Each structure stands twice: as C-alpha cells, then as structure tokens.
C-alpha cells in the first residue's frame, strides 16, 4: 500500500496507540481522520497533525455511519480503517457486573463491528481497502481478571477472521494486531498504576509495526501479528 495520499480513519485516535498511528500515517503523507468521543481532545489531536476531527462513539451505530460518511465526503473516499477504539474492565468473574461487561463489549466488539461494516461498504464499492483491527495479546491467552477485556479481544479476533475470509475477494486486506502492554493513558483511566519504563512498549512501536505491515505490496498481506517488548523486566 502506498500511504502517500491514502485516506485513513483512525478510531480512538485522540491519545495512546490511536494517536501514534495517526501521527505515523500523517508522517507518510496520508490524509488522516481522527475519531474519538471527546470533542476537545480529538480536535486538539487533529490540529496537531493537520487532520480531520470526527467526534463520535463507536458504540453508537449512527455515529459510526456518520463518521465513515464524513470521511468519504471530505476525502473523496476511504482507503484505510484503523479499528483501535477500546476500553477495559479488569475484575474477577464474581465481581464483574453485567453493566461493566456490556460496556466493554459495546466498544470493543459492537463498536469494532459497526466501524468495520461501514468501512467495508465503501471498500467493496471501491473494490479495494485496508482494515486493521487492534486487539491484544490478552486475546490470545486469557488470565485472571480478564473476563470482560480478554473476552472482548477474543471476540474481535474471531470477527476479524470472518471479515478476512469474506472480504479478500474484494481486494480488501484485513489485518489483526496484538500489542502486549503499552505505556498509554489506558490503565490510568481504569485506576491502575502503570510504572513507566524505558523497556516497555510505547504507542510508537505499535504504529511503526502497522506502517510496515501496510506498506507490503497489495498482492500480499500479513493477516495477524503480535508486538512484544523485548525485555520489559
């Protein structure tokens, strides 16, 4: 994929991995649209990158439809969706409420499906497109406290496999990325302290890996890959 001039929509893009990916794509001269729920944050992030701010919640169908329509109308099409928006709850099964479980799945599973569906509609019309879903190594192996979060990432991985099989015949590449622990505001928002470390992953490493994956010639693609810190200990 030639990223120069590519039209990209990144969800959960106001900070963390999403912002790092948007920044890396903009550095490759892609046209970037950043989507997030908080207007002040996403507009500030878009200004920094010279991109388009799209305010919306991926868990709401109307917002997903509007987001893709806005990008298509503004950019004249859509070449790439980075399905990054996500949230988490980490509690033992016996302490996990239905509301918490549903909230995680509303963003990580339903939101991912809605965004993928709307982007895929445009990709099929164009007979080309690239869909990258950001999952987690927690979607490869579950662990204690991961009922909601790991469960949602396992679901995303399964959906991505379905989309890959369905969409390849339309020249659409569907890729899944499994980052291990990344130093972002994600854990702080959940009330968990994350010790900063020069050994742990940053959003930049995930973004660099995604760019490298995308720049493979369109005749081939990397279906799935994980990114681990070499020695985080």
Cα separation, 113 vs 126, in Å, equals 20
Active site residues: 149
pLDDT confidence of residue 233: 87
DSSP secondary structure of the chain: ---TT-EEEEES-SSHHHHHHHHHHHHTT-EEEEEES-HHHHHHHHHHHT-EEEE--TTSHHHHHHHHHHHHHHHSS--EEEE-------B-GGG--HHHHHHHHIIIIIIHHHHHHHHHHHHHHHT-EEEEEE--GGGTS--TTBHHHHHHHHHHHHHHHHHHHHHGGGTEEEEEEEE--B-STHHHHTT------TTSB-HHHHHHHHHHHHTS-TT----EEEE--S---
Given this model, what pLDDT does residue 184 score? 81
- Per cent of the chain over pLDDT 90 is 93
Given a cut of 50, the residues of the chain with pLDDT beneath it are none
pLDDT tens across 169-210, in order? 999 999 999 999 999 877 677 666 777 889 999 999 999 999
**Residue-level pLDDT at 48:** 98
Q: At a CB cut-off of 8 Å and minimum separation 6, what does 160 contact?
A: 133, 135, 174, 176, 224
> pTM of the entire structure?
0.95
Domains, the chain, ordered by start: 7-227 (3.40.50.720)
User: Which pLDDT does position 196 carry in this prediction?
Assistant: 83
Let me know how long the chain is. Answer: 233
């Amino acid at each position: 994929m030639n990223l120069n001039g590519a039209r990209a929509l990144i969800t959960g893009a106001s900070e963390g991995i999403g912002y790092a990916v948007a920044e890396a794509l903009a550095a490759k001269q892609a046209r970037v649209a950043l989507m997030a729920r908080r207007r002040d944050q996403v507009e500030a992030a878009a200004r920094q990158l010279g991109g388009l701010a799209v305010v919306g919640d991926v868990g709401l169908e109307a917002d997903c439809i509007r987001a893709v329509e806005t990008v298509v109308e503004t950019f004249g099409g859509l070449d790439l969706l980075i399905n990054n928006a996500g949230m988490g709850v980490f509690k033992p099964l016996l302490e996990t409420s239905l509301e918490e479980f549903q909230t995680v799945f509303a963003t990580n599973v339903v939101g991912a499906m809605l965004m993928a569906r709307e982007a895929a509609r445009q990709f099929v019309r164009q007979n080309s497109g690239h869909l990258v879903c950001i999952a987690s190594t927690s979607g490869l192996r579950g662990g204690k406290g991961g009922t909601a979060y790991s469960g949602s990432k396992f679901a995303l991985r399964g959906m991505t496999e379905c989309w890959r099989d369905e969409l390849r015949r339309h020249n659409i590449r569907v890729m899944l990325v499994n980052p291990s622990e990344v130093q972002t505001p994600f854990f702080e928002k959940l009330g968990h302290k994350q010790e900063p470390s020069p050994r742990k992953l940053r959003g930049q490493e995930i973004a660099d890996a995604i760019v490298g994956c995308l720049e493979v010639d369109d005749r081939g693609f990397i279906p799935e890959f994980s990114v681990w810190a070499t020695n985080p200990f």
